[in-house]
Amino acid sequence: MTVEVDLIVVGTGSAAQSVAFPCREAGWSVMVVDSDPFGGTCQLRGCDPKKVLVGVSELIDWGRRMQGNGLSAPAPALSWPDMARFKRTFTDGVPAAMDQRFKEAGVLTVHGRARFVGPTSLRVGDDTYAGRHVVIAAGARHAPLGIPGEEHLTTSSGFLALEALPRRVAFVGGGYIAFEFAHIAARAGVEVTVLHRGTRPLEGFDPDLVAQLLEGTRGLGVDVRLGTSVGAVEERGDGRVVHAGTATGEVEVGADLVVHAAGRVPEVDDLDLGAAGVERGEKGGVAVNEYLQSVSNPAVYAAGDAVSSGGLPLTPVAGMQGRTVAANLLDGNTRTPDYLGIPTVVFTTPPLARVGLDEATARAQGLGFRAHHEDTSGWYSSRRIGLTHTGFKTLVEDGTERVLGAHLLGPHAEETINIFALAIRKGLNASDLKDMVFAYPSSASDIGYML
């Protein structure tokens, strides 16, 4: 059977939704297809369930920090089964609700693995679907490591689905996933090891603030090992043994669970892009032009993690790209994505956030600027809640006073960074922010002292 539609969207996450619904509202016949439960990574296996766990972990940490500072009850303890049950109240109903939302909008929903059989035709099971256009918004998967015993690794999705935590957990990689989950697990009383092959973790963030966060992470009891390259994972008895190399030789790390936290790649390998004449870019995703249109097949567009180049692999970016693609499909190629001033956050406790340029990039661009960097652990906003590893760094351009970048580690950094993002995106300068009268005391009221 062959079904013809105006638009086929591969995926059902934020990018896919941002394309499918506007095109359907414009009168197009639209189909979505996904081999995973409908809803995408963020709602089901990423941002949303992770933040639920982070919220409980923060509460546990706050309670422990305030012991003797006005809180005299026994320090709270984290119950993983209860927290996992609470998390499921946010995720369990999503696939059915999303499927129903698509159907109510008049979107054809197809469950299964799709692969191209022509420039705009895909096969799912025994059926073929032909569209005037195809949008690839299939998301990302964990990067293959190519090491012996890789099958013994658990993914971040597997970690989030755990009903109980083992005694020892090791994370392979030193990025967002490793640090966020390590903070949660450590506060649940787990013995945590992070193995990172680079000389510093969280490489996209300011090195001075990362150093502070690293100190705080180790203070939790997390064993963070840098310059440690994982070469194999072995199943031994009821546990796992990670074999890794360091500058001084080989080491073994025992764990009951080993989690892959070493990066993600576009999930497009099994789409058979070659059958559609769709070229891939250097990062493995769809090679696109400035309109997010395939450079080799003009009937195909891509958005979100499936794009080989573009902004940060974040849900808000995927949504913005999806809206851009929808506009270009409906009105012709008139819109390009704007990646200026998009913040990103590591949801540790406290959170680490950044937006705009770091010092190395600003220098490479030949910009003249002043950098203001302080340890804020002695500031009221940190002392009030017992946080001992906080700080900031801001970059302001000489002459224009334009805010070039902001880097925050501290309470409510995930919220305060949005004010700096607005300044960068809308061209506000340091004086505009310093002259603002903020509610006090609040995290945002510290902004004037950061510039």
CA angle 29, 31, 33 (to 5 degrees): 175
Residue 250 burial (C-beta neighbours within 10 Å; 0-12, 13-18, 19+): exposed
Same domain, 301 and 196: no
Question: Can you tell me the distance from the alpha carbon of 60 to that of 179, in angstroms, rounded to the nearest whole number?
Answer: 17
Same domain for 196 and 64, yes or no, is no
| Same domain as 273, residue 135 | yes
Residue 125 lies in a domain: yes
Helix (H), strand (E) at residue 122: strand 121-124
Look at residue 403 and tell me if it is in a domain: yes
* 336 inside domain: no
- Kindly state whether residues 111 and 7 are assigned to the same domain: yes
Does one domain contain both 371 and 415?
yes
In a domain, 339, yes or no: no
pLDDT number for residue 140:
92
Query: Which residues, including other chains, have CB under 8 Å from residue 207's CB and lie 6 or more apart?
Result: 200
Whether 290 and 349 map to the same domain: the answer is no
Tell me, what's the pLDDT at 312? Answer: 83
**63 and 44 within one domain:** yes
In a domain, 426, yes or no: yes
Angle at 49 between CA 43 and CA 50, to 5 degrees: 120
Look up the CATH number of the domain holding residue 228: 3.50.50.60
Please answer whether residues 306 and 11 qualify as being in contact, where contact means their C-beta atoms are separated by less than 8 angstroms. yes
- Total-model pTM: 0.95
Residues 365 and 312 occupy one common structural domain = no
Instruction: Please identify every stretch of the chain with a pLDDT value under 70, giving residue numbers as ranges.
Output: none
Q: Note whether 103 and 155 are same-domain residues.
A: no
**Both 308 and 439 in a single domain?**
no
* Residues sharing a CB contact under 8 Å with residue 335, sequence separation 6 or more, in sequence order: 291, 324, 327, 328
Last-in-domain residue among 331, 361, 381: 331
- Residues 137 and 241 both lie in one domain: no
Query: Number of structural domains, the chain?
Result: 3
Check which CATH number belongs to the domain holding 352 and give it. Answer: 3.30.390.30
User: Which of these three, 262, 285, 301, is where a domain ends?
Assistant: 262
Residues 373 and 389 in one domain: yes
CA distances from 10 to 110, 121, 271 (A): 10, 12, 10
The residue segments making up the domain with residue 429 are 344-450
Residue 338 belongs to a domain? no
In the structure, how many helices (H) and strands (E) does the chain have? 13, 21
Tell me the pLDDT tens digit for each residue of 21-64: 999 999 999 999 999 999 999 999 999 999 999 999 999 999 99
Please tell me the predicted confidence (pLDDT) of residue 313.
87
Domain boundary among the residues 217, 236, 262 is at: 262
